[in-house]
Amino acid sequence: MKIRQLSIPLPAPVIALFGTLLLLAMMWSTHAAASDCPDLLRHSFPSLQKNQPQDLCQYQGKVILVVNTASFCGYTNQYGGLEALNRKYREQGLVVLGFPSNDFGGQEPGNSKQIADFCRLTYSVEFPMLAKSHVVGEQRNAFYAELERRTSKKPSWNFHKYLIDHTGTRVMSFESAVAPDDKRLLKSLHELLDARKKTIRMI
């Protein structure tokens, strides 16, 4: 015996109501996600490769290593170490963010394509890179201004590093000479990754 399934058309006002409720739910979800984003990460910058806006809130809940980079610096070989960190720890919640800047010694004179090609072809960089900007001085980007305010430390040269915890509230500063594999940096990184792991377990 076959059971026929009856298809009862819904009145137009009911369909409209469902549509409105769905739209409101989506808007609330987007608003909730934005409101959860730490103040420190509420910035957007063009990506280096495609020049498309990149909202830093997409990295909320991650441990973030922020580095101002340059292609013709004595510390440029740190790109290799940064990419090694990216590949080793990204599954554990690390994001490395590169901010090319020509603020120090004119050591990043190229355009976006030149910088991107250099990073990819020379060091196989896969971590996110943002478009070239100022990281010191009156024209510094707003993100770096906030990092400086929170740490009372500003970059004095290329490859200065800021390490941000997964809550976006704790920020540590490391001078350019502190290489990506430096024990001091790795110790702090492991502590922040462990704290993130504990938070995830409690959820």
Catalytic residues: 73
Strands of the chain, DSSP E: 44-46, 53-55, 63-69, 94-100, 161-164, 171-174
Give the angle subtended at the CA of 76 by the CAs of 99 and 84, to the nearest 5°.
80
Map tokens 């490395």 to a residue: 96
> Hey, what amino acid is at 83?
E
Neighbours of 68 (CB within 10 A): 26
CB 32 within 8 A of CB 61: no
Map tokens 């040269």 to a residue: 157
CA-CA distances (angstroms) from residue 194 to 63, 66, 132? 10, 19, 32
CA–CA gap between residue 101 and residue 132 (Å, rounded): 5
Give the pairing of strands 94-100 and 161-164.
unpaired
Token readout for 127 is: 């971590």
